[in-house]
Amino acid sequence: MVFCQVFSGIIYYFTFLFNQVGQLRTSSHLQLRPGQENAKQCDTDNNRVTHGVNKCTVNNTIEKSLYSASRESLKMEPLADCSLLPGEERIIDKDIIYICPFSGALKGKVFITNYRLYFKSTDADPAVTLDVPLGAIGRVEKMGGASSRGENSYGLDITCKDMRNLRFALKQEGHSRRDIFDILFKYAFPLSHGLLLFAYLSQEKFEENGWSVYKPMEEFRRQGLPNDKWRVTFINANYELCDTYPTILVVPFKATEEDLRKVCTFRSRGRIPVLSWIHRENQAVICRCSQPLVGMSGKRNKDDERYLDLIREANGTAKLTIYDARPSVNAVANKATGGGYEGDDAYQNAELVFLDIHNIHVMRESLKKLKDIVYPNVEESHWLSSLESTHWLEHIKLVISGAIQVADKISGGNSVVVHCSDGWDRTAQLTSLAMLMLDSHYRTLRGFQVLLEKEWISFGHKFANRIGHGDKNHADQDRSPIFVQFIDCVWQMTKQFPTAFEFNERLLVTILDHLFSCRFGTFLFNCERARDTNELRSKTVSLWSLVNSDLSFYQNPFYTPESNRVLYPVASMRHLELWVTYYIRWNPRIRQQQQSPVEQRYIELLALRDEYLKKLEELQLSDSSPNSSHLSNSSTPNAASPTQHITHLHTPF
């Protein structure tokens, strides 16, 4: 028994140590490698980054080893032939020249499967490899013509959705370019050619079933719903009320089904105000919806006005705050197309606040400008002014600032309604970020998955239109990085609160990689109705199956659970950073400094704690056996206490 007490004391000692270390805030700094012009000289140890999509794996063990070994698809090290995923088939392979923006022209062989483009150089040591999911390709163009005479001027230009471009040169003899172009175009854009997305062909198996992560009724019960003020309705069970909403909705208890149908006619796309989240103590709620159909004539709808009043009365809010994500000029302009906003004369018990967040077109152009200054070369001479000219961080600031206002109102006991134009882009950003600030459950690994499934996937963010899965129309005006922008906002919060989130940066990058890859069904289609029609859950694998089969890989070692803490990030340009490890990860001259000594010490202490726990368990088992009775008999009343033993311990660090 004495040995057990000693080891218990040791564990308490180390628990105190890593709790102290865990309070320290760490951050990683990235910098350019001076004088490094040839990517082949790049130290591969400095090329580490999460790459959830571009891993030649079949299981999580291989995924983990590849993460630690590589920073990107462009790997400056020897690599064996790529292992195909279950369901992946090789289509063609061809000798080709890769025009690497960092190493110059490289001869090699390209392999195209129904899932990826894989290139391996033959004239470079170490070999250069590329591993690109076809879903990440946004555009394929022919480069040069029959009359092209310049060296490597005849080939293919490939624009990717993940902040990089690829260029390949081919010989002009025969039909070498036509063959590879036709195959690449066909399998990169399967829906445009009557083919299935790879997620429907994949035969991967995982220990966890990711489709069971989000169960609407369980999530509402966790929030304390239904109650005497709010009820669950199944009026949309067959998507008859709103075809872009989920089947299960929470609405004011006093609102009848007929009320909901009448309100539906006055809201864009039929997206009526419904509850997203409720504060357990003050009962203030976050509701989301689309704009009212006011039009140029200033139409009113008594049912809609009364419905918003029911939301206000549910917790006795003096005035309901309506957050319109748009700039006021845009909201007024939308009247010309039949939309509009809630006027003071019609909604007298509400106050309207415009958050000045720009539309999908502005965000798309902003990210394009950001790509121009970070790929392939980082604009060093005027970096700060170039970054400012993209306005990307300015947009990030406005989104976070808007979410802070929503969270602050809720904390003060006032209910809010959030909408933009149609309620599936900026609205989702604001509600989910506010819920992340207010509810610590969503800051856990599984809770964050629930948040994405609930506020983004089930409530109809148009992933298919915004990303363009399998669609060749690269100029589609519906494409926009709204979800990428949201994940960037989450990353900004994790930097400001390094101990508040159970998940790490790897999870965020993995989510964005598979947003494009089409390897999983999680982000496919625009709404639940389309997913049901296409039997998504029975025919594809969820991304959360991959993540939850190896949770430790995505865990933040500094995480400290705090159940009632509300996070208020600083939405100031001085406190926002460019997410270098995502936006500039393809540049091999960008290197991350070695792991923080504090973080390294913390991880070592965690490992040591696990080791002592294991030893303690073994001692307890042996102590309870009959053969160990002599140990307890030999102990003396004057034996040193665990505390006395601990004072003589020295850590090996």
DSSP for 240-272, please give it.
Answer: -S-TTS-S-EEEETT--HHHHHHHHTTBGGG--
In angstroms, the CA 360 to CA 479 distance is: 8
CB 311 within 8 A of CB 285: yes
> Residue 420, annotated ligand binder?
yes
> Residue 423, annotated ligand binder?
yes
In angstroms, the CA 200 to CA 219 distance is: 28
Interaxial angle between packed helices 392-411 and 482-496, expressed in degrees from 0 to 180 and rounded to the nearest 10:
70
> Residue 46, annotated ligand binder?
no
CB 451 within 8 A of CB 436: yes
CB atoms within 10 A of CB 89: 11
SS3 133: strand
Question: Strand 230-233 vs strand 249-252: parallel, antiparallel, or unpaired?
Answer: antiparallel
- Please report, for residues 153, 167, 386, the alpha-carbon distance to residue 149 in angstroms, rounded to integers and kept in the order given: 7, 17, 35
> Residue 155, annotated ligand binder?
no
In angstroms, the CA 554 to CA 369 distance is: 31
Q: Which long-range contacts (CB under 8 A, 24 or more apart) does 177-181 make?
A: 177/142, 179/92, 179/94, 180/92, 180/94, 180/96, 180/110, 180/112, 180/156, 181/140, 181/142, 181/156
Closest C-alpha to 13, from 653, 562, 509, 645: 645
SS3 443: helix
Residue 382 phi, psi (nearest 5) = -130, 55
In angstroms, the CA 313 to CA 92 distance is: 64
Q: DSSP label at 498?
A: T
The three-state (H, E, C) secondary structure of 541-597, written as one string = CCHHHHHHCCHHHHECCCCCCCCCCCCCCCCCHHHCCCCHHHHCCCCCCEEECCCCH
Render the burial of 68-83: b for 16+ CB within 10 Å, e for the rest: eebbbbbbbeebeebe
In angstroms, the CA 326 to CA 228 distance is: 34
> Residue 425, annotated ligand binder?
yes
Residues with Cβ within 8 Å of residue 274, at least 6 apart in sequence: 245, 249, 250, 251, 287, 288, 289
What size, in residues, is the chain? 653
Closest C-alpha to 609, from 12, 3, 6: 12
Closest C-alpha to 133, from 49, 54, 193: 54
Largest Cα span, the chain? 97
Rg of the chain in Å (alpha carbons): 28
> Residue 426, annotated ligand binder?
yes
Catalytic residues: 420
Instruction: Please give the distance of CA 33 from its chain centroid, rounded to a whole number.
Output: 29
In angstroms, the CA 66 to CA 54 distance is: 9
In angstroms, the CA 520 to CA 457 distance is: 14
> Residue 359, annotated ligand binder?
yes
The binding site for substrate consists of 359-360, 420-426
Query: Binding site, residues?
Result: 359-360, 420-426
